[in-house]
Amino acid sequence: MKKIVLLGYMGCGKSTIAQNLSKITNIPFLDLDKCIEKKANLSINEIFEQHGEIYFRKLEHEIFVELLQSSENSIIGLGGGTPCYANNHELLKREDVSSIYLKASIETLYNRLIHNKSKRPLIANMNEEEMREFIAKHLFDRSFYYNQAKHKVSVDNKSVEETVQDIVALLA
């Protein structure tokens, strides 16, 4: 049983690539954020608003562990913070896990997130200048955890299809 785990900062393409990689490989995909929303019956924003981030991180860890324990092969798209809490980065090293860091530049992340921030509570209320500064510092702080991944794929200036092909080649 193999788990292909996609990780990286908000906006690097985890959810999108997981879905497209699944189409090419016929391996079922799961988006951890979607699994969390289903379990809580709340959106990510509502979980942060009603219960706070610590509650979110606890749920995120519990469901990540649950997904890794299933006997099925799967592709799992993590949330941007998953590797950075509850020692989840240690789970990326498991024998049955192929962990892949989708590495993006600050510019790439900013350009993708500036039009996609409303459902991301950590940046939803930031203006452009605050967001650019936040991403730069937050990515730096988190890079230790992202670099625990077994593999790294740059996503800058690549189409979804090109990134999927990079991952297929990597796993061959």
Ligand X SMILES: O=C(O)C1=C[C@@H](OP(=O)(O)O)[C@@H](O)[C@H](O)C1
The footprint of ligand ADP (CB under 6 A) covers: 8, 10-16, 77, 80, 112, 116, 155, 158-160, 163
Which tokens belong to 139?
Answer: 């990515």
Residues in contact with Mg ion, shown as a per-residue x/- string from 7 to 26 under the rule CB under 5 A? -------xx-----------
Q: Residue 35 binds which one of ligand ADP, ligand X, Mg ion, none, with CB within 5 to 8 A depending on kind? A: none
Candidates 17-25, 67-75, 98-106, 119-127: pick the segment binding ligand X (CB under 6 A).
Answer: 119-127
Number of Cβ within a 10 Å radius of residue 121: 17
Give whole-number Cα distances, 97 to 67, 84, 89, 100, 169, in Å: 11, 17, 12, 9, 17
- Confirm or reject binding of residue 5 to ligand X (CB under 6 A): no
8 A C-beta contact, residue 15 and residue 35: no
Distance CA 131, CA 9 (A): 13
Binding residues for Mg(2+): 15
Please give the residue ranges that form the binding site for ligand X (CB under 6 A).
Answer: 10, 14-15, 33, 44, 79-81, 120-122
